[in-house]
Amino acid sequence: MISKRKENGQALILITFGIVALVGFTALAVDGGRVFSDRRNAQNAADTAALAAALAKTQGENYTTAAESRALSNGYTDDAEHSVSVQLCSASGVMCVLPTGATASDYILVTITSDVPMTFARVLGRTEVTNTVYAIAKASGSSPSSTTWGTGFGLTALKKTGTGISFTGSGDVYIEGGIGTNAAFS
């Protein structure tokens, strides 16, 4: 009589590998989507906070308070899951990528860091993902543009009456109560 080799248990191993793969794809879809969504929301909050800080600075107000208040209204504040940092680019230890010839004290850097807790990725050993986003805004009074504005830059005039942005025959740009943003830095 010929004995047959027993192959019991192979299905269990294949099912285990299949479950791990399904959890991995679910983690990628669900947790990855949460990370992407948080990054987009944090970037929007940093952008609006930088613009609020620049506006406050041009109006002689406290730009740090304005930026933190705007970040808070978008759901980001200094707590266990988030941190908001507002600094002038001229501050010691602050690294900003600015146009050639730019005055660093005219630029405000807002950094938002947020920790996104994982749900399905915990099974694979990942408990959280940290997002860090940056936004830089330029705040200056009424003066000719002393910098070259290139790709990725925007300009906004916020003067309540009259002309906020004016151009002269020499090619100088005059901004009254305006702000500029560097959308390319993120």
Per-residue pLDDT at 50:
95
Residue ranges in the chain whose pLDDT is less than 50: 142-146, 151, 182-186
Per-residue pLDDT at 124:
74
Greatest extent of the chain over all pairs of C-alpha atoms, in Å: 105
Per-residue pLDDT at 165:
62
- CA atoms of 146 and 148, how far apart (whole Å): 7
Full-model pTM = 0.67
The three-point CA angle 23-29-30 to 5° equals 85
Per-residue pLDDT at 120:
78
pLDDT in tens, 23-67: 778 878 888 899 999 999 999 999 999 999 999 998 889 999 999
Give Cβ neighbours of residue 171 (< 8 Å, ≥ 6 apart): none
Per-residue pLDDT at 12:
84
Per-residue pLDDT at 142:
46
Question: 149, 130 in Cβ contact below 8 A?
Answer: no
